[in-house]
Structure 1
């Protein structure tokens, strides 16, 4: 079953379903568990992951560490890619560029976005990512570049 279908089914049970889905998704790449993420929205070309501000993700000055935010943005990108990519294609990350533009002093929302045209053929997809504070201020923004290629056909 596809990730988007599973997410939509899980969301039929609002809080519990979203939490269970987020845990299961994070277990596919266990380092995501270090940020205690919640996937709060998923649709083709868009995903949002909440990264709570708690002592486990804070740095020495009490803000959410940028690497925790990078994990949240990477999780959002992965969910978006799985919910968006056509079945004959596959993806793998090939790089990430981030810019830190403000303090991350609250629970953060990591988002990932693409244009539908990005997925029409093999090549590079630039996924736009950002982490936003509760007050709406963008604290980190950047791009995660994906290599998108044809799936190998079964023999």
Structure 2
């Protein structure tokens, strides 16, 4: 029996298909519709890790033509949430975002890639604040944004 979450199993299934990343990303955005506004594509997913990209298009621009601060926050939360959902043992625990601290380090004038990672293995407890660091990089591989997203992990009743 595999320890992989249902989400990671679905990821592996979709990855075998043409445009699998895009289809999987669409399915995630169907489950959480607000994320669809920025048209993200999930690039990689495994326990403790998720990466995703948002294209530098007008739909995510602010008034100066760069990627809007809140679009960056949305991408960070998407990446962290998908990673946590794929990592937390779903039969015994649940999670919800509790807070986010961000730093805008540079204007984002290219596509932007987010990476959310936590160290594993992890001992899951009840009423735990799990801080998920997320980093966003432009296409020049420059760090442009960081976030620490606190996920509240509880045991299921």
Asked if Structure 1 and Structure 2 have the same fold, meaning a TM-score greater than 0.5 normalized by the shorter chain, the answer is: yes
Residue in structure 2 matched with residue 18 of structure 1 by the alignment: 21
Q: TM-score, normalised by structure 1?
A: 0.93
2:136 pairs with one of 131, 135, 141: 131
Q: TM-score, normalised by structure 2?
A: 0.91
Q: How far off its partner does 1:13 sit?
A: 1.5
| Structure 2 gap segments, 5+ residues each | none
After superposition, what is the alpha-carbon deviation per residue over 1:115-140, rounded to whole angstroms, capped at 9, x for unaligned? 22445323110000121101111111
Distance 2:69 2:6 in 1: 30
Alpha carbons of structure 1 residues 119 and 50: separation in structure 2 relative to 1, 3 Å: farther
Q: Contact 1:112–1:128 at 8 Å: present in 2 too? A: yes
After superposition, what is the alpha-carbon deviation per residue over 1:61-109, rounded to whole angstroms, capped at 9, x for unaligned? 1111111111111111111011100131111110001000111110000
Distance 2:136 2:149 in 1: 13
Q: Contact 1:109–1:133 at 8 Å: present in 2 too? A: yes
Q: Root-mean-square deviation (CA), in Å?
A: 1.3
Correspondence list, 1:60-71, <5 A: 60-71=63-74
How many aligned residue pairs are there?
A: 151
The 4+ residue runs of structure 1 with deviation greater than 3 A are: none
